[in-house]
Each structure stands twice: as structure tokens, then as C-alpha cells.
Amino acid sequence: MKRSLAAVVGVTAAISLVLTGCGGGDDDKSASGSITLTLAGWSFATTPEFKTIADGYHAAHPDVTVQLKEYDATNYDTQMVADLAAGKGPDIYPQKSLKNFYTYQNGKQLLDVSDVAAGLGDKVGGMANYQADGKTYAIPYRQDSWVLFYNKDLFAKAGVKTPDGSWTWDDYAAAAKDLTTKFKAGGSKAVGDYEHIWQSTVQGFALAQTQGASIESGDFAYLKPYYTRAVDLQNAGAQVKFGDATTNNLTYQAQFGKQQAAMMLMGSWFIATLLKQQGNGDADKFDWGIAPAPQLTKATTGQSATPVTFGDPTGLGINAKIAKNKVAAAKAFLAYAAGADGAKSLARIGITPADTDAVKDSFFQLPGVPQDDLTKWTFTHHDTKPENPPGKYTAALQNILNDLHTAVMSGSKDIDAAIADAQTRAKNEVLNK
């Protein structure tokens, strides 16, 4: 990294970063001659990662001013596209959703940052997702991967063996049913697992783990076994029904945190949330851990193999219209955020960085993080596939697949009919346009 980024670091060695929350002028330089960068983000009150990486960079570069520009989390991409088109876009902006990366890259709104990527090497997960035509256009600073959260206390109470890293989906389903049966026998209303209402809870795993599966193929048959299992668990009462979860506005945080379910598949970002909620009383105090997501076959189970899961990275890109005198500082900022130092600063607030190897020790020093060997192994061992493989049709096809998910999980259509309908829509509405 030092060799590849020597030019960037050399240019910015005399530059430092003073973080100002937001506001300020539009000039490229302050009164003292230092460079001002604008950094986009969302929900600053509850999402501290932007200030964290800016503060960390500040320690090494105290003379560059970084102004945080807050966007609405729900309408982030809509607002960002509008600002970029109007020439009011920030200098550095996150790729909040991988499915929209194609829109920014194809629209020539991202600067080529291949030199930053080369300097970081292969330890930063998710880098390939931001590449097009042999160039890299954004740098991942965090990479969440979906894992299995489980409540050790509830497993012990039910007398069921906890996950050991060798589970297939059949093992998972059997455990969910066994737990539910024993909870009911003991008078508890808890269930074996909670599956949140998002389409990714089914489709993300199906796409990642099925050989040859592709969203843009328009062939969605690979989804059938995953939906068959999910519907069966609902019908068996081993997980909350989709309709009940939507009608009652259930949150995954409360379902697991208040011990309404013994297991839950969720992104690794939930580690930070659970730690915080157990600390402030929003979640019960109980012993928990994480294990690899269940696998399609035994071939990818066990600690001698690498489990396959999914999760989109979150990357930082540079506005293609950034002033030339700010490029070096912006690239150095990306290098810091995605590098080992940035990773450690993110880990200290419970965020899963793109370089998990850099924080495998410091992360487990956080109060409340489980210390068992399986949790530690799971944190750093995974083959994480993208939920939204970048492509021209990804966003439109995901909308169709979301309709499929709702239809199947609500019971309004059977699985075969929903898949057939989605395939027809994909062909007529998207792929043949």
C-alpha cells in the first residue's frame, strides 16, 4: 500500500483534516490555504461511521477540512443523483446500495480510483463489485456478511445442541422446529427462528449459494428450494408468519433482543446494534454467539472449508467533477477509510470493516462481544457474494423479485406460480427493453 499510494500520501503529507459537522463555504481552500473536502452520509445521529473515519483521518492530516453533508437515508440515491446532475454533489460520496453503482458508474459520475485499489491489495473485501471495464470506481470501507445469530441461553433451556459451523439448511430447519416444540412444551411463546420480511433473507442466500444462479439471466428457478423451506417453517409455526410480521410491524432487533426467537439470520451490522441494546436495556441480557449461515451442501461446512454467504459492501466514491487540487486528498481519504487504520476505528464502534483481518483482535476487545471460538472464526471466514451484482438490469429485476417474495411469503401465490410470473415480467418489462 505504501508504495502504490506514495504519490497520494506525498501530496497530502502536509495536509491535515479538521472535521466540521456540516455547513461552511463552497471554496476549495480555506483562509489558511488548506483543502476542503465534502463527505456525504446519512442519519448522522445514529450512524457514527462517517464522523469516525473523518476523525481518524484528522489525526494524521490536521489541515484539511472535511464538511459532512447529510442526506435522507431513505431517499439517499434519489437526492444524490439530483445533486450530481445539478453540479452540487459532494466530493466524496458513499455507494449506499450496490444495486445503484451501475447508475453512477455508467453516468460517468465516479472518478477512477484504481490506484487506491491497487495500493490496498486483496485484503479489502468487496472490491471487485466496484470494478468496470478493468477499472475501479469506488473503495469498500465496510463489508457486512450475513451470519446466524443464536441465543445460547435459549438453546440450553430447550436442551438443543447449538450450531457448530457444520449446519446445512436441513440442519437449521430441524433445529428451528425442535426448539419451537420444546419451547411450547415448556409454556414459552418463543419460536425457533425469526426470518425478517426482507427479500434478501431468502433470495440473498439462494443467489449466493446456488451454482450458476444469476439475476440477469431471468431464470429464477434457483429460488424454489429456499422458498419451499421458508414457507414450511412458517406453516410449522417455527418462525413468525410474514403476514404477522408486516401487520404488527415487528422489528428484527426486538424479536432476537427480547428473546422471542432463538435464532436469526442477519447481517453482521447487527453485532453493534445488539451490543448497544444489551447495554442500554433495549435488549435482554443473555449469552449469544454467531455461526456461519447454513449451507446448501456439506461441501462448504466446517472450519476446514469456507462458508458461502452474501452481503453488499458499502464503498466510497469520488465525484468525477471534483476540483483537480482536491483529488490527491480525496484519494488519501479513501485509502485511510478502507485500510487497516480505518478498519480499526470502525471496529471500535462495532462496524464490520471491509478488512476484517486487520481487526480480528481489536474487535473482540469490545465489551459484550462473544469470546467463543466459533464466533471468532465466523467473523473472519466467509465467501461473501453480492446481494446486488452490479449490472444494467439489477435494480429493475430486484423490484420484480421483491414482488415475488411478498407473494410467496404472504401465501397469495404458490411458489411455482410466483416464479413463473416473475420470469415473465423480467422478460417483458426489463430484459427485452
CATH of the domain at 334: 3.40.190.10
Given this model, what pLDDT does residue 123 score? Answer: 84
Given this model, what pLDDT does residue 400 score? Answer: 98
* Residue 269 near residue 144, CB atoms below 8 Å: yes
Given this model, what pLDDT does residue 350 score? Answer: 83
Which residue from 5, 273, 332, 223 is spatially nearest to 342, judged by alpha carbons? Answer: 332
Q: In total, how many domains does the chain have?
A: 2
Tell me if 383 is assigned to some domain.
no
d(CA 248, CA 259): 17
Asked if residue 136 and residue 16 are part of one domain, the reply reads yes
Residue 398 class from Cβ within 10 Å (0-12 exposed, 13-18 middle, 19+ buried)?
Answer: middle
d(CA 368, CA 272): 10
d(CA 127, CA 141): 9
- What parts of the chain have a pLDDT lower than 50? 1-28, 30-32
* Residue 14 near residue 63, CB atoms below 8 Å: yes
- What is the model's pTM? 0.85
Which helix (H) or strand (E) is 243 found in, with range? helix 242-247
Tell me if 407 is assigned to some domain.
no
Given this model, what pLDDT does residue 6 score? Answer: 31
Range of the domain at 160: 146-310
Given this model, what pLDDT does residue 33 score? Answer: 56
Which residue from 29, 3, 5 is spatially nearest to 334, judged by alpha carbons? Answer: 5
Asked if residue 170 and residue 139 are part of one domain, the reply reads no
Asked if residue 323 and residue 262 are part of one domain, the reply reads no
Which residue from 17, 80, 73 is spatially nearest to 45, judged by alpha carbons? Answer: 73
311 backbone dihedrals φ, ψ, rounded to 5°:
160, 130
The residue type of 154 is: L
Which residue from 82, 143, 138, 115 is spatially nearest to 390, judged by alpha carbons? Answer: 138
d(CA 274, CA 296): 28
